[in-house]
Amino acid sequence: MALLAVRDLGMTYASHTLFDGLSLAFHAEERVGLIGPNGAGKSTLLRILAGLEAPDAGTVECSKGARIAYLPQVDVFPADATVEGSLLAALADLPMEEYERPVRARKMLRRLGFTDGATRVALLSGGWKKRLAIGCQLVQEPHLLLMDEPTNHLDLEGIDWLERFLERANIAFVVTTHDRYFLERTTDRIVELNSRYKGGFFSSVGHYSDFLEKREAFLEAEDAERRALATQVRREIEWLRRGPKARHTKASSRIDEAEEKIERLSEAKRRHRSARDLEIDFAASGRRTHELVVAEGIEKTLGGSLLFRGLDVHLRRGGRLGIVGNNASGKTTLLRTLACAVPPDAGRVKHAADLRIALFDQAREQLDKTERLRRALSPSGDTVSYLGRESHIYAWASRFGFRADQLETRVGDLSGGEQARVLMALMIREPADVLMLDEPTNDLDISSIEVLEGALEEFPGAVVLITHDRHMLDRLCTDLIGLHGDGHWANYGSVVQWQEADARRAEEREGAASAGAETKSRPEARPRRPSLTLPEKQEWERMEARISAAEVELLRLQTELDDPAVATNHEKLQAAYEAHRAAREKVDALYARWEELERKTGKA
């Protein structure tokens, strides 16, 4: 049975049709990855499913009693909100006893990894805010969670945490994301929204890798069918030109069939044309110099934090250097140091003579947000010169996935993915020796990322790449520098290798901090924190299961109290009330004991 479904959905923005007769269902226990090109309507569909936006046509059907939660792309919290206060606010409108709210909020705090519920949300990093935003939805215990690009702008540590969290969580969800590794690890069905498909989508049960195989087979079969249909239509057109007598029933029927085939072929061709991908071809300078950028012993401190020290880089023609690290570890600073946009505090960076660098800035500061798209793509008129060839603005805009009716749109009004494509259009017009790209995949759809991968692979010069897209890093990079956020760095063979090393370094730092705190406390002769005895340790390990069982019993007794048959019987009501009171005291006592044991372990 479907938890949530849309029937004959229709939606149009300006002159662009997102959906036309879309019918799609999502079921209990499914974990669906929703993909598609930018502008296909993924975010709009999620908002319609969440009841936040009304379609132009069609219906949304929700299973009776189903709770649907929605996680938007941007996390918004009140300025003075605390972590625990945000979870309690998420529970405010749910029909439940007052004492249940703090109990459920504290359990979610532990699942999310927070140690202090009084922490102000404004002080959290982007990754921890995303954890809290997800927790605010999950604490409501929805039957289906709708998530719009939850991995956007998360660092690799945050993405890894979210993957592991969703793997353990017993919940159905629909998620839009361009992270292919994330889709492979967390989903069991992929739905691609795309006007190239009859019905507006293609659905495949299985992991993302299964989806790729099934889609390839489907498109090959569709191409074969289109070619066969085109052959049939040519024959019918020749027959029609010979002037058949329509007064005969057989001839009349064949004319009708011919017209139906012509209409089917026209529709198939229209859908095929709508599937045109982004076209990127970075122009190389043709330089033969082998060594392009050399950095020796460079060091950089920013805001009082040491980012890297003694770092060496030898970037050669054909090299692909990836830079990985968590947020604030210094990735962008390192890239800009290699580009000589900022000087190192120590060491030196040397460029080959007349080196030409094309830079993709994740902040997209090269773009004039007030400029019209027409002028951004073609500053000097309606013709663009590229690799010695002239191209009209309409053809050039189409190459980057823009429609003719978008040319008068201001660049600042374009989506994030569209702005990224404008920046790439600027980059490819001038030949370069080195491409330096800082988070180029942010906001791009999967098909555009795949095109970008191919273009970077074919580029004969050198590439320096920062991205959270692990698939792109592992596929392209011949060298990988991993930053650890404490001044340390190393070369790694893969993203996973860096993640494992970074986790070890984090544990070492925590151990050193704990040892330092213990050493510092010794002269003050403070009493040692008591440790758990073996029986207490066993009790502590079983405590969460005991609390869950006690809460289930409490809810059962609450249901019994609400039963009209009990409420009208004085003796039954009194017995039920006493049982409910005892169960509530048991839950409170268990939580008190759990907190006592937590303090003794040092985890409280």
State pLDDT tens for residues 144-154.
999 999 988 78
Nearest to 449 by CA among 180, 220, 184: 180
Give 22's strand partners.
Answer: 9
Q: Is the pLDDT of residue 529 over 60?
A: no
In three-state secondary structure terms, 595 is helix
Q: Return phi, psi of residue 531, to 5°.
A: -95, 165
What does the domain layout of the chain look like in residue ranges?
Answer: 2-213, 214-273, 292-356+431-528, 365-428, 534-601
State pLDDT tens for residues 177-216.
999 999 999 999 999 999 889 899 999 999 999 999 999 9
Which positions ≥6 away from 324 have C-beta within 8 Å? 156, 331, 466, 473, 480, 481, 482, 483, 492, 495, 498
Alpha carbons within 13 A on the beta-carbon side of 578: 5
Residues in the chain: 604
Using alpha carbons only, give the angle 6, 8, 13 rounded to the nearest 5 degrees.
90
User: Residue 498 to residues 158, 268, 472, 547, 549: CA-CA distances in angstroms?
Assistant: 14, 47, 15, 38, 41
Instruction: Give the per-residue pLDDT at 524.
Output: 44
CATH number of this structure's domain 2-213: 3.40.50.300
Tokens 């017993």 — which residue?
Answer: 170
State pLDDT tens for residues 288-320.
888 999 999 999 999 889 999 999 999 999 999
Instruction: Give the per-residue pLDDT at 526.
Output: 40
**Would you say the CATH fold of 534-601 matches that of 292-356+431-528?**
no
Mean pLDDT, to the nearest integer, of 584-595?
76
Query: What class is the 292-356+431-528 domain?
Result: alpha beta
Nearest to 17 by CA among 76, 47, 57, 49: 57
Q: Model confidence at 411, in pLDDT bands (50, 70, 90)?
A: very high
State pLDDT tens for residues 205-264.
999 999 999 999 998 888 888 888 788 778 777 777 776 655 455 566 766 776 777 777
Query: Is the CB of residue 19 less than 8 Å from the CB of residue 194?
Result: no
Mean pLDDT, to the nearest integer, of 396-424?
90
Which positions ≥6 away from 421 have C-beta within 8 Å? 278, 400, 401, 402, 444, 448
Would the CA dihedral through 163, 165, 169, 172 be positive or negative? negative
Structure tokens at 224: 């074969």
Mean pLDDT, to the nearest integer, of 484-491?
94
Classify residue 287 by its DSSP letter.
Answer: -
Distance CA 214, CA 418 (A): 29
Nearest to 453 by CA among 322, 338, 357: 322
Distance CA 246, CA 106 (A): 79
The model's pTM is 0.78
CATH number of this structure's domain 534-601: 1.10.287
